[in-house]
Amino acid sequence: MFRIYDVNNDKYVDHGDLYIIMKKLVGDDLEDSQIHEIVAKTIAEHDADRDGKLNYEEFLKVIPFLIAT
């Protein structure tokens, strides 16, 4: 599943990666600003090393949140 979210295949899920996947999942049900807000909050809450992106271990902890969204 990590490889699906790592759109640019750089071994991290960053804001751009997560936005692309979320946009595909919600389509036009949410406005772009709402998606950006969800993405920013998700990364901020689960980015343990505060580098602005999710590595594999951080991603594993966020999966339940992503599935529920």
Summarised one tens digit per residue, pLDDT across range 22-46 is 999 999 999 999 999 999 999 999 9
CATH of the domain at 7: 1.10.238.10
Q: Residue 64: which pLDDT band, with cuts at 50, 70 and 90?
A: confident
Number of domains making up the chain: 1
pTM: 0.86
Flag whether pLDDT at 55 surpasses 80: yes
- Domain containing 55: what range? 2-68
Q: Per the structure block, which two tokens stand in for 27? A: 């389509």
65 to 10, 48, 59: CA distances (angstroms): 22, 16, 10
pLDDT at 52: 97
Question: Helix (H, G, I), strand (E, B), or coil: what is residue 8?
Answer: coil
Give the C-alpha separation, 7 to 31, whole Å.
21
